[in-house]
Each structure stands twice: as C-alpha cells, then as structure tokens.
Structure 1
Amino acid sequence: MAYRRLLLPLTGTAAGESALATALITARIWHAHVHCLHVRVDARDVAPLAGEGLSGAMIEEMMAATERESGDRAGRVRGLFERFASAASGVTLAEDPDTAAKADAPTLSFSSVAGREEEVVAQQSRLYDIAVVPHPEAGEDVSSSDALHAVLFDSGRPVLIAPREAPAEIGSRVCIAWNGTAESAAAVAAALPWLHKANAVRILTAAEYQRRGPPAEGIQTYLRWHGIAAEITTFKPMTREVGAGLLGATRDFAADLLVMGGYSHSRLRQLILGGVTRHVLENADIPVLMCR
C-alpha cells in the first residue's frame, strides 16, 4: 500500500508555502506525484450576487474587476509554485503518469482552473489518494478552510492538514485519536501505509472522547492483524478541553503525525460550539490526517 497521487489546493498564502513543503515531504516518502491546483473565481458567478438596482454596465464592471483580481491572484500562486519547484532538489515536473513513472524522483504539476473552489476541490480530490490542504487560518486564508471542508465532506478521500510551519519529517511516530466512531475507523484505514512505516504508534483514548463503538483495545487488535504494534495511552482533558488534552498527549509522545476522524457530531454543531475537531484544526503543530 502506498500513496501515489496527492492533490494540493493552493491559495498563495504563507500557509500555502508550508503545505507545499509538507506535500513534498510526503511525496518523497512515497515516491509520489503532487498536483497543485489553484481555483480561480469565475466572474460569471458574480452576476447572480450583484442584486437588483444595478445596471448592466455596473454588473459588467464588477465582473471585469473580479476577473482582473482573480487573474492577479492566479499569477501569484503560479509564481509561488514555480519558485518552490525550482528551489526543491531532486524533483521532476510531470503532467502525466507515464512521464512520472520514468522519473526517479517525486514529481510535481500545476494547473489553474475557474470555478467554485468547494465544488472543484471536492470533485477533483476523488481522483487522488489523499489531499493535502494548508492550515486553516481565519482571515487571510479562509479559502483553505473551504477546501478542507470540501475534501472532508464531499470527496470520500482522506485529507492531510499541513501545520503552519513545515515539519522536519512525517510519520515516524504516529498517534491515533480513537473514539470508536466510523470516522476514526476510516482514518485508521486511510493511515495504514503510514502506520506500517512508523517506528512507533500510540493509540490515544479518553472517557470524555469515547463515543458509542469499539474501545481502544479493539483497534489495537485490528492493527495487530496488520502486523502493526501499537500501545494504548489514556489522556486527560486540559481545563475540561478534550482537544487540548489530545494535543498535549501527542506532544508527550513526540508524534509527527496525528490520525483522527473529523466531525463526529454534525458539522453545524461543530462550527457553532467548537469541539475536538475544531480545536485540533486550529492548534495542531504537526500534520493531521483526517477522514469523515
């Protein structure tokens, strides 16, 4: 088992640079291909939002301004990709699988398309083994959060959330956040290639985190059937915050990858009330592999 094709939605922010580096580290491990995708705003989508009371000329000007801004942003994102690709050692640019197969190195490609980011990213992610997304930051990088939700909810694929700063390595010491849910089971299945390569694996569990489903001993046995040895550790919430306790336990293990299910409750409740998923997304300083 291996990851051979990775999708990286690029937005051109500082978080995007870290995601590029994270994706390349992953590609080097798996000798894989990374396709960087930038989704431009389609000016035609602006017209329905213009509202009543605007003349045709005003709507056309809004569309033209959107087109210019979108084009400028696309140019900056392409520039970011080109600078990164030229500075990276041992990397080959490739557009098709035959060229990539001949390269004795990880490969990169880039494309920019117009559309709605959530739709394009969700649909394209279905053709990749895993999507790598920039760390979701409020304000300057809101679009990366859109990409994250698109992959989690609509792609059927796992997502690797890059930290704010690129890690030195990924997957040598792996923590599994286990709460017995279908989401956490899907995350473990998606992470099996990492778990087989890891030097150490720890299952993290807590009464406050556990939902209806198999306990940690069950997933430990499952991993043993796959030839993976994993220890179980019970963590404690910090100041009644389960997510903080979970991240504290990953730091205690010196983990460089956290595997967990995302949004065990409804998405709306998570966004309004917070929750473990949201806390981890906002505060993790290591890559996090999630499935929904």
Structure 2
Amino acid sequence: MAYRRILLPLTGTAAGEAALQTAVMTARIWHSHVHCLHVRVDARDVAPLAGEGLSGAMIEEMMAATERESGDRASRVQALFDRFVDGKDVVLASSAEAAEKADAATLSFESVAGREEDLVAQQSRLYDMAIVPHPDSREDVSSSDALHAVLFDSGRPVLIAPRLPPTTIGTRVCCAWNGTAESAAAIAAALPWLHRAEAVQILYSKDYQRRGPDVRGILSYLRWHSIKAEATEFSPVTREVGAGLLGAARDFGSDLLCMGAYSHSRIRQLILGGVTRHVLENSDMPVMMCR
C-alpha cells in the first residue's frame, strides 16, 4: 500500500509554498507523483453575481477586472512552482509512464479556470490523497475552500500541511480515536503511514469519545494489520478537547496526526467551536483528516 498519486491545490502564498515542500517530502517517501492544480476564477461566473441595476458596460468592466486579477494570481503561482523546481532534485512528469521511468518523486503543474471547490473535489477523487495549505494562513481563503471541498465531497483523505515545512513526516504517528465512522475512515486511510512508522500512538479521552467502539477495539483492529500501537488517554486543556489532543501529540513527538473530521456538523463547529476546528487552526504538525 502506498500513496502513488497526490493532488495539491496550489496557492501563491507562504502557506502554499510550505504545502508544496510538504507534498514533495511526502512524494519522496512513497515515490509518488504530485500534481499541482491552480484554479483560476472564471470571469463568466461573476456575471450572475452582478445583480440587477448594472449596465452591460459595468458588468463587462467587472469581468475584465476579475480576469486581470485572476491572471496575476495564476502568474504568481506559476512563478512559485518554477522557482521551487529550479535547481532542485525533482523530476517533472506529465503521465504515469513518464513517472514510472523516473523511478523517483515527480511533479506536474496545471492552471485551469472554474470554481475551485467544484474542481478540487472532483479531481481529488482520482488521487490517493490531497495535500492542502494551512487554512489559517490569513493570506488566501481559497486554501480553506480546497480543504473543505476534499473533506466533504471527494471520498479521499486530506493532509493539511503545517505553516512551516516539517523536517520529518510519518515517523511517529498519533491517531485520534473516538469511535466514530470518521475516525475509523481516517485510520484506514493512514494504514500505509502506520506500517512505515517507527512508533504509533492512539489518543483517546472520555471527553472525546462518541457512540462506537472504544480504544480497545481499534487496538485489536491494528493488531490484525500487524501494527503495534500504544494507547494514551489525554485530558482537555482549559476545557478544550482539541488543545488536549494536540498537547498529547506534541508530548509524543508526533510528526503526523491522523483524525476524523467534523463528527459534529460543520455549522455547529463553526458556531460553537470543536476539536476539528481547534486542530485546523492551531496544529504545527501535518494533520491527515477524513470525513
């Protein structure tokens, strides 16, 4: 088992560059291909949003401005990609046949026009995993759009890159367990990482547990996959379950956290907060999520 094909929705930001470095590091581990996809805003999508009372000339001017801004952003992303590959030990490949001949991590780049949340979700279904920039970059909200598109509409796991590129990934792996379908899907998707890891820890808490099997059940499941894991109970920090989860992962020296996302509805988490939201906003390590 391996992650052979990785999709990276690329933005021209510092968070996007960190995600690119994280993706290449991951690709080198698995000898996989990273396809960098930049989705430009389609100016034609602006016209229906213009509303009533605007003249044809005003709508055309709005579309032209959108086209210029989208083109400028696409140029910055292309420049970021070109700078990254220049002089680095990476191989460009546009097909599976070319990637097989390279026998190394390979990269490709594509810029298309459309709705990012639609295209990213649809394209992710053809990849083993998506890697997205950190959603709290405060530079480009589209990175968060890509994250939620993969989580809610792709059926694939997503790895959220940290703000700064990690030095290692997947050597010491923590898995958050609360008995839900989401946490089960996340652990199943992370099996290649768990087989490769030097150490695996299952994090659980009575404040995190939902209806479903307890930690003993998932430990037994992993043993059937010849994966030895230790279970560690964590406690909330200042009533924040997410803070307790991240604290326990840091104490373990984890360089990858695997967890289910949005066991409660996304709306509830946005209004009331939640474990998923806290981890997304505060994690300084790669986080692999499934829903």
TM-score of Structure 1 vs Structure 2, range by shorter chain: over 0.9
Q: Which residue does the alignment assign to 1:49?
A: 49
2:259 matched to 1:260? yes
Structure 2 unaligned regions, length at least 5: none
The 2-side partners of 1:258 and 1:58 are apart by 49
The Cα shift of 1:52 comes to 1.0
Q: Give, as a single letter, the amino acid of the residue that structure 2 aligns with 1:197.
A: R
Deviates more, 1:16-25 or 1:133-142: 133-142
Matches within 5 A, 1:133-212: 133-137=132-136, 139-212=138-211
Query: Is the 2:19–2:131 contact (alpha carbons within 8 Å) kept by the matching residues of 1?
Result: yes
Any idea what SS the aligned residue of 1:111 has? strand
The 1-side partners of 2:155 and 2:172 are apart by 26
Matches within 5 A, 1:52-63: 52-63=52-63
The 2-side partners of 1:167 and 1:288 are apart by 11
The 1-side partners of 2:17 and 2:273 are apart by 27
Query: Is the 2:170–2:196 contact (alpha carbons within 8 Å) kept by the matching residues of 1?
Result: yes
Matches within 5 A, 1:1-292: 1-89=1-89, 91-137=90-136, 139-292=138-291
Query: Is the 2:91–2:105 contact (alpha carbons within 8 Å) kept by the matching residues of 1?
Result: yes
The Cα shift of 1:138 comes to 5.7
The Cα shift of 1:139 comes to 3.6
Aligned pair in 2 of structure 1 residues 163, 87: CA closer, same or farther (>3 Å)?
Answer: farther
The Cα shift of 1:154 comes to 0.2
Q: Deviations over 1:105-161 (max 9, x none)?
A: 200000000000000000000000000000002642211000000000000000000
Aligned length in residues: 291
Q: Give, as a single letter, the amino acid of the residue that structure 2 aligns with 1:185.
A: A
Any idea what SS the aligned residue of 2:84 has? helix
Q: TM-score by structure 1 length?
A: 0.99
Q: TM-score by structure 2 length?
A: 0.99
Q: Could you tell me the percent identity over the aligned residues?
A: 78
The 1-side partners of 2:212 and 2:25 are apart by 34
Any idea what SS the aligned residue of 1:163 has? coil
The Cα shift of 1:88 comes to 2.4
Any idea what SS the aligned residue of 2:86 has? helix
Any idea what SS the aligned residue of 1:210 has? coil
Q: Give, as a single letter, the amino acid of the residue that structure 1 aligns with 2:101.
A: K
Any idea what SS the aligned residue of 1:146 has? helix
The Cα shift of 1:104 comes to 2.5
The Cα shift of 1:183 comes to 0.2
The Cα shift of 1:85 comes to 1.1
Q: Give, as a single letter, the amino acid of the residue that structure 2 aligns with 1:15.
A: A
Query: Is the 2:117–2:145 contact (alpha carbons within 8 Å) kept by the matching residues of 1?
Result: yes
The Cα shift of 1:87 comes to 3.7
RMSD of aligned alpha carbons? 0.7
